[in-house]
Amino acid sequence: MGHPAAVWDYKAATEITKDWNGIDQVILRNPRGASARVSLHGGQVTSWRNEHGEELLFTSSKAIFKPPKAMRGGIPICFPQCGNGGSLELHGFARNKIWTIDDNPPPLHSNDYHGKSFVDLLLKPSEEDLKCWPHSFEFRLRVSLAADGDLSLISRIRNVNGKPFSFSFAYHTYFSVSDISEVRIEGLETLDYLDNLCQKERFTEQGNAITFESEVDRVYLSAPTAIAILDHEKKRTYVIRKEGLPDIVVWNPWEKKSKSMGDFGDGEYKQMVCVDGAAIVRPIALKPGEEWTGRVQLKVVPSSFCSDHLGL
């Protein structure tokens, strides 16, 4: 007999294993059979499956799973830099570091653990990190899987430095889709965006939804708290809800760029789209002792359920 949800033991639903490189990973499960896998390499969610066992995140067949290379897929954490706009490596160093399991994290609101299986991870800067980015911080990440299969990531970044610092951030989420040509994104209509394919020139979104016919690499400004990705062929919709993250990044490399990336299959752009909750345009500034929190909640619903019910 399985445990009824009311007495679901989240600790029993959390398993620590090792991947094929010997790096610890945490498996989260819920009573209905959904699961998520979190690697301590990068604090990266590498798998999110629904109760039918279907993988909801994209991972390239050519992904490299060995440090110091970040894995192409899942949900890499971009911190303290997004893109290549600063002095650090692409997307910062957090996604390339080995995190630790935080057994005694500061408390979160009770709703952030009730009825969920979850893991708390911790990243602190190494001496090497401090040489290239001289700021002391504590980065706490909670990944949780709810009874209904929703996946949540909560990041808390504290300045334990003697001076202020600022950073940019993104949950660089690779969603698995049936065919990018059949995908549309709702919730970003009429917003301004910076186009990374046009030297970050600012434009205004003209369509009633975002669709894909070529490479897209944009940062949408002042985005609403809920965004929907509709996959017509699979008749399902991903709903992204975010807090503390004003921007949304939308990215698909399309054919030409795919062929130039060594850890990405030539035709795999058809099966993925990145839609990231982010804080890029105005970096987050923290005074000594201050803490910032940014969270996303990912949900999957039938496409027929979409806009009328999601408050988009």
- What digits encode the pLDDT tens for the residues 1-19? 344 444 456 566 788 888 8
- What digits encode the pLDDT tens for the residues 113-134? 566 899 999 999 999 889 889 9
Give buried/exposed letters for 55-87 (b at 16+ CB in 10 A, else e).
ebbbbbeebebeeeebbbbbbbbbbbbbbeeee
Task: List the single range of 44-53, 83-92, 109-118, 237-246 with lowest mean pLDDT.
Answer: 83-92
Spatial CA neighbour of 173 closest among 88, 77, 85, 95:
77
Pairwise pLDDT comparison (277 vs 116), residue with the higher score: 277
pLDDT score recorded for residue 68 = 67
Q: Measured between alpha carbons, how far is residue 64 from residues 59, 72, 80, 238 in Å?
A: 10, 7, 22, 26
Alpha-carbon span 249 to 216, nearest angstrom: 10
Neighbours of 8 (CB within 10 A): 17
Cβ atoms of 211 and 227 closer than 8 Å: no
Question: In terms of DSSP bridges, do strands 14-18 and 77-78 run parallel, antiparallel, or are they unpaired?
Answer: unpaired
- Non-local (6+) Cβ contacts of 17 within 8 A are 24, 25, 26, 27
Alpha-carbon span 18 to 25, nearest angstrom: 6
Instruction: For CA atoms 106, 111, 115, 121, give the dihedral sign.
Output: negative
- What digits encode the pLDDT tens for the residues 33-80? 999 999 999 999 999 999 999 999 998 877 666 666 777 889 999 999
Pairwise pLDDT comparison (112 vs 219), residue with the higher score: 219
- What digits encode the pLDDT tens for the residues 157-188? 999 988 999 999 999 999 999 999 999 999 99
Alpha carbon 145 to its chain centroid, in Å, reads: 14
Report all structural domains of the chain as residue ranges with CATH numbers, in order of start.
Answer: 14-302 (2.70.98.10)
